[in-house]
Amino acid sequence: KNEVEQSPQNLTAQEGEFITINCSYSVGISALHWLQQHPGGGIVSLFMLSSGKKKHGRLIATINIQEKHSSLHITASHPRDSAVYICAGGGATNKLIFGTGTLLAVQP
């Protein structure tokens, strides 16, 4: 069992739909990262959070430390949101454990 697990592995949505990607972890963490990887391979950091909720544009990330669970929500999804979304948790940055990613495809 991976220490950081994401669900679903694959997700197809229609443009405009509300999307949720989940991340559960079994290790103690001080921060949870959400990353976005586009088809070209480059990765962009979306959020780093250790408690509560953060919002940036149409993206919202939440974390429940007691339940060891985090979610990434995308409101009013758009085809340009199509990417792989990766969560990673751990202590210091050199101790991060990465999930295997959720492949999101948003169809027009």
Partner 1 sequence: DGGITQSPKYLFRKEGQNVTLSCEQNLNHDAMYWYRQDPGQGLRLIYYSQIVNDFQKGDIAEGYSVSREKKESFPLTVTSAQKNPTAFYLCASSFNEKLFFGSGTQLSVL
Interface contacts to partner 1, rule CB under 8 A: 2, 4, 31, 33, 35, 40-45, 48, 86, 88, 92-94, 96-101
CA separation for the pair 30, 20 (Å, rounded): 23
CA separation for the pair 5, 104 (Å, rounded): 16
| Min CB(16)–partner 1 separation in Å | 29
| Min CB(88)–partner 1 separation in Å | 7
Cα torsion through 42, 38, 104, 90, rounded to 10: 10
- CB closer to partner 1, 4 vs 21: 4
Q: Phi, psi at residue 21, to the nearest 5°?
A: -120, 135
- CB closer to partner 1, 60 vs 98: 98
| Min CB(66)–partner 1 separation in Å | 22
